[in-house]
Amino acid sequence: MKNVLQSLYLLQLLDTELDELREMRGDLPDTVNKMEEEHEMLGGRIEEVEEALKKGAVERQQMEKQSLELITKIDKYKGQQLEVTNNKEYDALTREMEAAENTITSNESQIEQGIEQAEELKTSKTELEARREELEKDLEVKREELEEILAATREEERQLEKQREEVLTDIKERDLVLYNRIREAKGKAVAPIRRESCSGCYNVVPPQLILEVKKNDRLFICEHCGRILVSEEIAEETNI
């Protein structure tokens, strides 16, 4: 059981070292991730605007083409009106001309609106591209800062991770589950008894419990903070 206690305490030491290394990065990883997400989002928005511009241009071209065809038809209808022999045919041609003229007027209005919308989209695209360009510069700086920190700690972190994997092989699943649950809640899961107190919460440990913990033959939990207690002997004998 002593080996288990030593492994759990060593795991805690390794996790503490890893936590400190990762704290050196501060919020840089999150900042870089958020900036990358925003950069991707801006790229998507620019693509959407470009697609909207293309779609609008095609629609305007179609309406312009339709209007030209209708103008030709109107001229044709006017010529046919001179050749009709009764009012019914004349009125039918008149209705066709009026419908064509209404469509042309509607197309002109929609084309005008489309041009205005296109100008707004172009302005939006320019603003989005400017923001993305500015973000790219800031992102490059942040990535370099993060890479410098990672480069300085990469080897040490790799060695600690390797040691951690080796230690895990000596810990049973149920003990690891307990360790992880306490660590998630308290930050540190294992606390040596020092000066008759739990080094995790600094509350006094009852003398009888101290004697039991010193036997190093089973797991004991601090009644105040819920951390795994280990003896000073375990703490002194266990090093990274």
Could you tell me where in the chain the CATH 1.10.287.1490 domains are found? 26-155
CA 169 vs CA 7, 156, 158, 234: distances in Å: 9, 21, 17, 19
Neighbouring residues of 94: CB distance < 8 A, sequence distance ≥ 6: 81
What six digits make up the tokens of 214?
């010193």
What six digits make up the tokens of 19?
């936590």
SS3 at position 154: helix
Q: How far apart are CA 126 and CA 50, in angstroms?
A: 11
Q: What fold does the segment set 26-155 form as a domain?
A: Helix Hairpins (1.10.287)
User: In tens digits, what is the pLDDT along the chain, a chain of 240 residues?
Assistant: 888 999 999 999 999 999 988 888 888 999 999 999 999 999 999 999 999 999 999 999 999 999 999 999 999 999 999 888 899 999 999 999 999 999 999 999 999 999 999 999 999 999 999 999 999 999 999 999 999 888 888 889 899 999 999 999 999 999 999 999 999 999 999 999 999 999 999 999 999 999 999 999 999 999 999 999 999 999 998 887
Please give the distance of CA 85 from its chain centroid, rounded to a whole number: 75
